[in-house]
Structure 1
Amino acid sequence: MGSKAGSASKVKLNTFDDLFGGAENTAGEQIIHAKLADLHTFRGHPFRVLDDEKMEETTESIGKYGVLVPGIVRPRAGGGYEMIAGHRRKRGSERAGLDTMPVIVRDYTDDEATIIMVDSNIQREDILPSEKARAYAMKYEAMKHQGSRGGSTLDEVGEAAGESGKTVQRYVWLARLSDDLLDMVDKKKIGIAQGVDISFLTEEAQQWVSVILGETGAAMNASQSAKLKEYGKKRRAYACDGKADTGGGKAERKKSND
């Protein structure tokens, strides 16, 4: 029994080291058992935490062995901690009747926290298109804030998830859809490709499409969505040209009055 216990402790330590770079505390970091009531959901967290079969397994495991891998949190301005990684472990702990769970407290910037939050969840097998779209959009914006630009940023986001920059770009566009339309994509009432096309429409036009599809139950084919995309792109171009013309007119009038 003693040798088995020693072996098990080594496995836990190695897993911890692999994930978090060693058990030693570093500057601005500490490991604590935080009250579950003090752990708050990450702002804009795009991933579902469901009481499904997998959560049942997580709850059972936590009930028997506790939380083996600590969550990651950062201090919260309003008190307590904002969760970065470990939302499902927190829910499993609640269901198992625990009051606390182990967490690593780190001082991350908003952008750093967003990137880690996305990376710790994006490899799930059951991610919905809406979750992936919002997650990629959040990470893309965070990386741009850090100084990455354009296509290289999309490639970097994709590399971490095993996807191409082009695929990431499509999901970032998909994130521009209204909640109603994204829900239709999740339920496969609209294909991802069609959703990307519709994302080029204004919010008002998207609302119109959502109402039509919802009331009629009609499906949208690639040809129809492509036409909507072209319409949306033309409207955007027209709006930009209109602003440029208006600005130019004001400049000319000001010049003539001088």
Structure 2
Amino acid sequence: MAGRVAGKIKLQTVDELLGVPEIAGTQEIEIGRIHAFPNHPFKVLDDERMDMLVESIRENGILNPVIVRPDKNGDYEMISGHRRLHAAGIVGLSKIPAIVKEMSDDEAIIKMVDANIQREEILPSERAFSFKMKMDAIKRQGARDDLTSGTEFQKSGIKVDSWSREVVGDEAGMTGRQVAKYIRLTELIPELLDNVDVKKITLTMGVDLSYLDVQVQKWVYEYFKENGFLKPVQVEALKNHSNLSNASQHMIITILNEALPKKSTAAKVSLSEKKLDKYFPPHYSAKDRENVIIQLLEQWSTQQAQE
């Protein structure tokens, strides 16, 4: 959580979030002895930001130690610092400064999410799976001691879900409802979720698609891949369809196509000024020309009706 200093919000550092000392306890640990956190939801990409991190480490070393916890095999599990570990490997370092913290599995999940969710750029998929991991861990832990209504929340699964979403949302600066929307994205097939990450499919569309059967999602993705687009109105049509339980691929394609706005079949007539100059005196204004054309059309229409 953030603290307030002199009327301003002070964001906590990763070390403060994890409850570790700023300097004490730092060790040099061999890179080969540190393994990634299981099902780590945050992507480590060799992109421009990674290139910048690699150059920084090459010039200045690793300024902030990573956070790890000991595992059962005498090695270490990464809690915070997957990108730094990857960059250190690229640079060619054999060891990395680390702070070792004893944590239970659920504590480790919560601390891992809290440490990584503070990154400036978080993909929807990263937020979705990290929120789900943290919420599940909180539910397993039960109501916190500092919540007086904890007993009440444990009485039903629905209340526990609502409470845990609110806890996750409060610590991430959003509502429990927003957290629930992100968690829905974990029900998307990877191909659709990837397109939410690159903003070719909106978050709202992704949430709506997540309620569809996996096979239907696959057909939607094939349609998207073949046509190069997927419109909100199309997803809305699938969402509002009365029964997709026995839908075929042909049926899904038909729903998607029929949801698109119909192209106008009316004939378009264009008369350029150059064409009209042949029939009108130079002093006739555009309005004068329009009145004459309308009168002639009315005469023609009357003649057609009499024939």
Q: TM-score, normalised by structure 2?
A: 0.63
State the SS of the aligned residue for 1:166: helix
Matched residue type, 1:144? K
Which of residues 202, 207, 212 in structure 2 aligns to 1:201?
212
Task: Tell me if 1:229 matches 2:239.
Answer: yes
Q: What are the superposed Cα offsets for residues 8-30 of structure 1, whole Å, 9 maximum, x if unpaired?
A: xxxxxxx89756443687xxxx6
Aligned residues: 216
Which amino acid is 2:212 matched to?
L
Residue 111 (1) aligns with residue 106 (2): yes
Change (3 A) 1:109 1:154: same
Higher mean C-alpha displacement, 62-71 vs 149-158: 62-71
Deviations 1:207-247 (A, max 9, x none): 222222222223131x4323433559985xxxxxxxxxxxx
Instruction: Indicate conservation of the 8 Å contact 1:200/1:233, yes or no.
Output: no
**3-state DSSP of counterpart to 1:200:** coil
**Does the 8 A contact of 1:151 with 1:165 survive in 2?**
yes
Question: CA deviation digits over 1:83-114, x for unaligned, max 9?
Answer: 11111111222222211011122222221111
What letter matches 2:163 in structure 1?
S
CA distance in 2, matches of 1:24, 1:98: 21
| CA-to-aligned-CA distance 1:51-101 (integer Å, 9 cap, x gap) | 333223322332333222221112234552111111111122222221101
Identity %: 43
* Offset at residue 160 of structure 1 (A): 1.6
Does residue 172 of the first structure (1) align with residue 172 of the second (2)?
no
Higher Rg of the two aligned structures: 2
More helix by share: 1
**Structure 1 residues without counterparts, runs of 5 or longer:** 1-14, 236-258
Q: Aligned partners of 2:14, 2:127: CA distance in 1, in Å?
A: 27
Distance 1:123 1:134 in 2: 15
What is the CA–CA distance in structure 2 between the aligned matches of 1:178 and 1:211, rounded to whole Å?
A: 12
Match of 1:90 in 2: 85
1:80 aligned to which of 75, 81, 84: 75
Could you say which structure has the greater relative contact order, defined with CA pairs below 8 angstroms and 6 or more residues apart? 1
Partner of 1:4: none
Q: Distance in 2 between matches of 1:94 and 1:206?
A: 38
Whether the aligned pair in 2 keeps the contact of 1:16 and 1:23 (CA below 8 Å) is no
